[in-house]
Amino acid sequence: MTRIAKALIIATIALIPCVVQAEEFVVGNFDSGTNPVNWKPAANTYGSAGGGASGDAAFDAAVRHGTSGSSLRITWSGVDGVGKYGGGVITDSVTVSDLSGFDALSFWIFTPNVDTDVSIGIMTTDYITGYAQLQEYLVTGTSVWQNVIIPIGALKRNNTDLDLTRIKEIKWLAENGDDASGIIYVDDVSLCNLRHAPAGTKIYTGGDKGHAYEADIPGDTVVTWDGAYQSLTTDELSIEVSTGYSVSWVSVPDNVSNLIKNTTTYFSYQFINNGNKADSIAVSSLTIAGQELPTTLYIDNDRSGTYTDGDAAHPLSADLVPDSTHYFLVGIYMPDTATLGFSTGKRITAKDKAGAGSNDSWPTGADDDTITDEFVYAYSGTSISVIKSSDTASAAPADIITYTITYANSGDLPANHVMITEVLPFNTTFDTEVSAVHDPDVAVQYFVDGAWQDGASAAATKIRWIDTSLAASGTASVSYKVRVR
């Protein structure tokens, strides 16, 4: 029986020894077109076994970063014998075993599952692993291709026992989320150096004190010009990297139209300390247009993107070590007196050195010491909520599952042209015999071979309903059936 439940997938790129001197080393671009082999269930890694855990991995030329080549496609479904993990390990891809000469891991990632919770890990030959959360380094959700750069130090901070000279594998894990199944695409994995060194770092050149003709220890340099070794004599230098302050947004919200009166709406923000020294970042909000509405800043302790118990009022500033991310919320109250067109414009500001910072032109030359974001919060007269349910918690192959989507307009004006799009669950097919169920006044379309059509098809991968008008305080529902493969 296939159980539909929370799942974890672990994809691993194995590493072999290699001498690295370059500024950047390409771990894998997956352009060979040869599918990975030696797939193993994640249970082999975590010590549990059995159950319905399944997964697959292949090089995919249809979904990739760039105009040619392939990506690494990783899929998962189900749970293992103790109901915890699904997925597996890929062990045949090749890269470098010594990461001590690099400062960052770079790769491109995309998942059709919106906001998939992914952990990135590196594991040594004696199975010691350090992790970092992908969400801390994203510009937007995971449902678009984007480049992610994670400092190696962030992985090591998670586990100080990590030996960077004995690395065996790089891992991508989908975990702790609500996705019972899904896909991750990874492409163009490389190791590189960061743009800056830690504050106070000293870079020396001088006598040839280590290996001959190599600048390999403090105070060392190449000391004589020699045709065989192409070495050069220079005077001894001592350079100290100065302190630099810099902050940038990781994620900012869009404009929002809200209907529900007498409620608070929360806007989620993230910023990162890009400097090379611990910093205190002052945050504030200012009304720049429209109505002055009650506004409160909160620390988003659980990084949920909305207010939950434990999210305390934000202090005047937040302390961040280099390369760390801060999460906070802006809560705005919509009063009972709101009418259509009622709005407020807000400017959110983050400024380093506890609000006293001024541009030091480091590291980019732009003003990285003060950043702002502006958005508009408006009363629209409509507000749509959606609830999805199924008629079973588990199903076996060939079983039919019915999914029902109930949507409601809690506003005081009709909602026109309400469109609901549903992606078919992994490992199922749309059953044309039972078709999608909906009100006769609601149009239904099917996504087949990259285009929407009116006719039902077993090849459909998505379904959408178009409701021309949902009355104020109105509720409606649609449903569809799929067959488990």
Which structure tokens are listed for 104?
A: 């960052």
User: How far is residue 95's CA from residue 109's CA, in Å, rounded to a whole number?
Assistant: 18
Architecture in CATH of 247-379: Sandwich (2.60)
Fold match, 2-192 / 384-484 = no
CA atoms within 13 A on the CB side of 69: 14
DSSP characters for 230-260? TB-----EEEEPPP---EEEEE-PPPEEE--
Is-contact 124 76, C-beta < 8 A?
A: no
Is-contact 163 187, C-beta < 8 A?
A: no
Which CA distances in Å does 434 have to 205, 418, 431?
A: 77, 24, 6
At the topology level, CATH places domain 2-192 in Jelly Rolls (2.60.120)
Q: Where are the domains of the chain?
A: 2-192, 202-240, 247-379, 384-484
Is-contact 218 234, C-beta < 8 A?
A: no
Q: What is the CATH number of domain 384-484?
A: 2.60.40.2430
Which structure tokens are listed for 260?
A: 């529900």
**Which residues are registered as beta bridge partners of 104?**
151, 192
The answer to whether the Cα torsion of 37, 42, 44, 45 is positive or negative is positive
What residues contact 306, with CB distance under 8 A and at least 6 apart? 266, 268, 329
The answer to whether the Cα torsion of 336, 338, 340, 343 is positive or negative is negative
Burial of residue 178, with CB atoms counted within 10 A of its CB: 0-12 exposed, 13-18 middle, 19 or more buried: exposed
**Which residues are registered as beta bridge partners of 174?**
9, 118
As a whole number of angstroms, the longest Cα–Cα distance in the chain is 87
User: What pTM did the predictor assign?
Assistant: 0.45
The answer to whether the Cα torsion of 112, 117, 122, 125 is positive or negative is negative
**What residue type is assigned to position 225 of the chain?**
W
pLDDT tens, position by position, for the chain (485 residues)?
233 333 344 455 554 333 333 456 677 777 776 655 444 434 333 333 334 455 666 778 888 888 888 888 877 776 555 544 444 444 434 356 788 878 788 888 888 877 677 778 888 888 888 888 887 777 666 778 888 888 887 788 778 888 888 887 787 776 555 566 778 888 888 887 754 544 554 444 556 666 665 556 665 554 444 444 444 444 455 556 677 788 999 999 988 876 678 889 999 999 999 888 889 999 999 999 999 999 999 999 999 899 998 899 999 999 998 889 999 999 999 998 888 778 999 999 999 999 998 887 776 777 889 999 999 998 888 878 899 999 998 899 999 999 999 999 887 788 888 999 999 988 898 877 655 556 677 889 999 999 999 888 889 999 999 998 899 889 999 989 999 98
Q: Tell me, what DSSP letter sits at residue 220? A: B
Which structure tokens are listed for 295?
A: 């506004």
Which structure tokens are listed for 298?
A: 């909160």
Which structure tokens are listed for 67?
A: 């105009």
